[in-house]
Structure 1
Amino acid sequence: MKLTKDVLARVCSLKRQTRVCFLILLLAVSSLAIAGNQKEEAIADSVRLALAKVVADPRPPKPTFDKIEDRIKYLHWLGEISDRLKRRMPDKQTRLEFLETVWYESKRAGLDTGMVLGLMQVESGFKKYAVSIVGARGYMQVMPFWSRVIGDGDPKKLFQMQTNLRYGCSILRMYIDMEGGNLFLALGRYNGSRGRPEYPNAVLANWKNWEFKG
């Protein structure tokens, strides 16, 4: 075949397409490297009942404060983190409702709110209807079996914002307690990759994006 300019251009184009496909494949593989799923395992009846009670609580996620200083600090946090999240969640009302709920559910579970946001960035990229290759659902990628173990048996509710965040925060709190406060192992258990560093390291790295110094 004569190497005309047109032929050379086609060859170069094919090479570029091959490189692009290779990069996409690398990105997919790197995502799968930290992808996982919570494992259904035996938990004590007392723990199961306590979790069931938490997720069934109908109270709305409205923060309350005993001191005006705490409320002011919360409002500063809400404004700053809302600005950081704007690109990923453009609608202001949705964003503020989401952050209000994240704050409420994380504090209720005794978790750092920035860490929970870092976990969601890794798990779902803040996509409400995200579904993993193993079927985990929503912002915090909760596995459907949890709706049977501690809920009312309806996994569709895991796409509801407060339900998903409440399940996710409560389950992570349980794992932290099971691991004696070891966050690294608890995050691995949450992801179904206990003992491996990829997922905990990713969450801890993204946690920095949501730290609030105020």
Structure 2
Amino acid sequence: MFNFRCCIASIMAVAIAGCAGQPQKGGAAKPASQTPSSATAALYTRLDVDEKRFFAARDPATFKNDETGNTAAYTAAWNDAQDAAAQCPKIRDCDTARFDAAFARMSGGANPPASEETALTPEATTNAGETSPVSAALPEVGRSVTLLKGHELSEVMTLNGPVKVALEEWLTSLRPNLMDTYENYEYLRHLMWPEYQKAGLPEAILFGIMAKESGGRVHALSRSGAAGLLQFMPATGQRFGLTVSGGFDQRYDPALSARANAAYLNEQLAVFNNNLELVIAAYNGGEGRVQRLTRGADNPSFWDPRIFYELPAETRDYVPVVLAAAWLFMHPEKYNLQFPKIDGRPGTLVLQKNASLAELAVCLGQEGNMHDGWFRTLRNLNPALDPRQVQPASTPLHVPQQLVGLYERNCLNGVWASVANDLHQAVLATPSPPPQVARAAPPPPRARAKAAPTYVVRRGEHLAGIAHKFGCRSVAELAKANGIKPRDYSSIRPGRVLQVGVCTQ
């Protein structure tokens, strides 16, 4: 989710929880009286203990007394809760919504262990109590949008007051965000659209959800722990097959996240009788909540005031904003909107010498992409790579086809290759310590145990880069020494203290 400008306050009035209401465990809500199985009860107890440990370690009254110990304590609690969440979808009566809610509460007081690109949700930039013109445009009774299988979306989609208000916002204060989303999507389209096409879903809805959720930034991470282009919560992502593989969180994979999103929508279209508005509401507010509100209703509608006003303010705004972005994707010419022409043909670039994505972005410059250069596109198409970690020659990179020739012209030899290398070497260089002034030797200290070498994680660093910096034999070796699970290799929190002695022995 990208950082909306201050004027987002004019269309959003929601809680800081952001995307904490992402899709939850399928099916209707479980009765409060239902006794969970022993396995589920054990997971719930574990989650409760982890949450208490997390907040105890984050208590401002004690945190400064032992920052290193408390940081390790709340990080361990967060990671253990994540492990428990991974087990929940495997147990029939375990409710993943309980874990999502806990993660939202924990991240409300402090950001969870994050990637280098922690993004604020549009909702998180809005102050509670602000009015929203989207919600103020009174909903009309009756469906305005219904997705019927076999019909083009434009054939069945009509506009009402809230959607028109959202259209105006996308075309005014949010136009830069809309254009960024379109550009990012065009380079990712060959990875994402086929998944929607196979699922029989309209591409415009994929674009609308992505525009609202992440702006097309693959590494977007919300305060509540929702991640990726389509902002899956950890438990929900695992429910739809998004796991951690080789240290890489698959919620950041464009194709896999699109597949999971399509599977979720089709599942809920069957539940809500192909009513697209209710499905989109469920994606944001949780299908259990929407099912409870529509249960027993004859031909229920998202716009029915008896349903609409029982939903959170965030969800009341979310649905028309997604629909408006989808409508603009289909009909830009009707609104004096012109999307840029993007050459998104995919290609493969094989490095001919060692280089990082950041170094390539410098030497590639802005040719072919005058808007903002190529760094974002390189990151989006190669989400598993640390952008500042040097990749060895012969490494294949996913790039737009036009960059293959540009790489050979700009990045192998010449002035831009030299500039990029010079800047990169400066980043890698370690400042020399100041010269020591000769002085009398102090008396020898009393013998004490030698402290193990430690390293404080900086913003933008990943475990692989730190392992390389200290000469570890493998990332797994450093992770094991610090109790880091494979799922967290790429998301260690800045400020965390790592024991790196295993690398220097």
TM-score where L is the length of structure 2: 0.26
Q: Does 1:113 align with 2:203?
A: yes
From the superposition, tell whether residues 150 and 119 of structure 1 become closer, same or farther in structure 2 (CA, over 3 Å).
closer
* 1:191–1:199 contact (8 Å) kept in structure 2: yes
Alignment of 1:157-176 (within 5 A): 157-176=250-269
**Among residues 185, 189, 208, which one is paired with 1:99 in the alignment?**
189
Deviation at 1:137, TM superposition (A): 1.2
From the superposition, tell whether residues 192 and 90 of structure 1 become closer, same or farther in structure 2 (CA, over 3 Å).
closer
**Among residues 324, 327, 340, which one is paired with 1:205 in the alignment?**
324
Deviation at 1:183, TM superposition (A): 0.6
* 2:185–2:207 contact (8 Å) kept in structure 1: no
Report the Cα distance in structure 2 between the residues aligned to 1:121 and 1:199, rounded to whole angstroms: 11
Deviation at 1:148, TM superposition (A): 3.0
Report the Cα distance in structure 2 between the residues aligned to 1:26 and 1:206, rounded to whole angstroms: 15
Report the Cα distance in structure 1 between the residues aligned to 2:202 and 2:182, rounded to whole angstroms: 24
* 2:242–2:251 contact (8 Å) kept in structure 1: no
Report the Cα distance in structure 2 between the residues aligned to 1:188 and 1:87, rounded to whole angstroms: 24
Please tell me the residue identity of whatever aligns with 1:37: Q
* 1:141–1:168 contact (8 Å) kept in structure 2: no
The aligned counterpart of 1:88 is 180
Deviation at 1:182, TM superposition (A): 0.7
From the superposition, tell whether residues 27 and 86 of structure 1 become closer, same or farther in structure 2 (CA, over 3 Å).
closer
Report the Cα distance in structure 1 between the residues aligned to 2:7 and 2:178, rounded to whole angstroms: 29
The aligned counterpart of 2:231 is 141
Please tell me the residue identity of whatever aligns with 1:156: D
From the superposition, tell whether residues 185 and 87 of structure 1 become closer, same or farther in structure 2 (CA, over 3 Å).
closer
Q: Deviations over 1:75-119 (max 9, x none)?
A: xxxxxxxxxx9951698xx75441122321111111110121011
* 1:114–1:212 contact (8 Å) kept in structure 2: no
Deviation at 1:210, TM superposition (A): 1.0
Report the Cα distance in structure 2 between the residues aligned to 1:131 and 1:144, rounded to whole angstroms: 11
The aligned counterpart of 1:30 is 12
Q: Which has the larger radius of gyration?
A: 2
The aligned counterpart of 2:212 is 122
Deviation at 1:136, TM superposition (A): 1.4
Report the Cα distance in structure 2 between the residues aligned to 1:166 and 1:142, rounded to whole angstroms: 12
From the superposition, tell whether residues 87 and 150 of structure 1 become closer, same or farther in structure 2 (CA, over 3 Å).
closer
Please tell me the residue identity of whatever aligns with 1:99: R
* 2:11–2:317 contact (8 Å) kept in structure 1: no
| SS of equivalent residue, structure 1 residue 88 | helix
The aligned counterpart of 1:187 is 280
- Indicate the larger mover: 174-183 or 142-151: 142-151
Deviation at 1:24, TM superposition (A): 3.5
* 2:284–2:318 contact (8 Å) kept in structure 1: yes
Alignment of 1:57-72 (within 5 A): none
TM-score where L is the length of structure 1: 0.58
Report the Cα distance in structure 2 between the residues aligned to 1:192 and 1:86, rounded to whole angstroms: 23
* 1:37–1:190 contact (8 Å) kept in structure 2: yes
Report the Cα distance in structure 1 between the residues aligned to 2:186 and 2:266, rounded to whole angstroms: 24
* 2:214–2:220 contact (8 Å) kept in structure 1: yes
Runs (4+) of structure 1 exceeding 4 A deviation are 94-97
Report the Cα distance in structure 2 between the residues aligned to 1:192 and 1:185, rounded to whole angstroms: 10
From the superposition, tell whether residues 86 and 206 of structure 1 become closer, same or farther in structure 2 (CA, over 3 Å).
closer
Report the Cα distance in structure 2 between the residues aligned to 1:100 and 1:204, rounded to whole angstroms: 22
Report the Cα distance in structure 2 between the residues aligned to 1:95 and 1:198, rounded to whole angstroms: 23
Structure 2: unaligned runs, 5 residues or longer: 29-88, 90-176, 291-306, 333-505
* 2:214–2:228 contact (8 Å) kept in structure 1: yes
Structure 1: unaligned runs, 5 residues or longer: 1-22, 49-84
| SS of equivalent residue, structure 1 residue 30 | coil
Report the Cα distance in structure 1 between the residues aligned to 2:213 and 2:250, rounded to whole angstroms: 18
Deviation at 1:185, TM superposition (A): 0.7
Larger helix fraction of residues = 1
Q: Which has the higher contact order (CA 8 A, sep 6+)?
A: 1
Deviation at 1:41, TM superposition (A): 3.5
